[in-house]
Structure 1
């Protein structure tokens, strides 16, 4: 199962649309703050579940059983609050046993920890702490994307729908 966080936002919807071109809808779960705002996704067969960055319990529940997670960064502007939201999401994903996380970061966040990159830097460090090194579980991994402007095609096809994913038999649409 693939979970897309913040799936009712503009970027999340773009990714879900691209996933549905490649994967059966029952393999896609949309984590959203307000499931009512994603009724159109549910009508297309996508599982829509509550997943609020400020309510970690909802994140753990929606991430349960996920092979892969696209963690779309929070729109929160306060770096401390955004970092806390991302930390809660990463912790919930680890607790739920998610195999891989793709995270929409910010250019330069891997090396800079101030200003606009602060929360993204902290999130990348948290991902690497959980998924790197000799103590990591087999099958775990993380990918950090440089910007939200990465194409949905790259995220969906090369990252979330890899050869080992259950949706590797890409569907063609005409």
Structure 2
């Protein structure tokens, strides 16, 4: 197995359309082990039958995330679809904090193609701030926006030279 296929891989939002497609592709590629995280684990019984470790976890219930991602090495954080101001960023922050505490060394995040302050997209700032939070984790980031790879396996802090880490992320010293 190629080194890029060394898991365990964690896929969040696993019962959604993108999450299911990613898991199918990981299985097809022979990558693993795979941990599928979803709010309702019963929705993923077919993956359990294929050897996927299905776990319950909810970005809005941070106490569920540590056990859900324990033992993982790389994580795909699929952005939530909450459009209420602040809720998406709070949920993403919970997931990033759990990943940091679990020792995850690579985060793949579904962002926007250009999450900049002047974007006309109302939730662009949530994606920009999520990328900043990931940058504070001192892990590798791959951000994917609208099907376009934006940052390949690099340090996101170089994209945000004015980054100021928010609590509890700045504890890395």
Q: TM-score, normalised by structure 2?
A: 0.76
Q: CA deviation at 1:116?
A: 2.2
2:112 maps to what in 1? 106
Q: 1:54 aligns with which of 43, 54, 60?
A: 60
More RCO (CA 8 Å, sep 6+): 1
CA deviations over 1:131-160 (Å, ceiling 9, x no partner): 2xxxxxxxx31121122x359xxxxxx97x
**Partner SS, residue 28 of structure 1:** strand
The C-alpha deviation readout for 1:43-95, integer Å capped at 9, x for no partner, is: 11111000111111211111111110000001111130000000000000000
Correspondences of 1:1-174 after superposition (within 5 Å): 1-24=8-31, 27-109=33-115, 111-112=116-117, 115-131=122-138, 140-147=139-146, 149-150=147-148
Higher helix share: 1
**Cα gap change, 1:113/1:49 in structure 2, threshold over 3 Å: closer, same or farther?**
farther
> Which residue of the partner structure matches residue 169 of structure 1?
none
Shift of 1:119: 1.1
| Structure (1 or 2) with the greater strand fraction | 2
* Partners of 1:96 and 1:122 in 2: CA distance: 21
Residues paired across the two proteins, number? 142
Judge conservation of contact 2:10–2:34 (CA < 8 Å) in 1: yes
Task: Name structure 1 gaps, 5 residues minimum.
Answer: 132-139, 152-157, 160-174
Task: Give RMSD over aligned pairs.
Answer: 1.9
- 1:79 aligned counterpart, secondary structure: coil
Any stretches of 5+ residues in structure 2 without a counterpart?
Answer: 1-7, 154-173
Q: Could you list the structure 1 runs, at least 4 aligned residues long, displaced by more than 6 angstroms after superposition.
A: none
Please give the alpha-carbon distance, in whole angstroms, between the structure 2 residues aligned to 1:36 and 1:129: 34
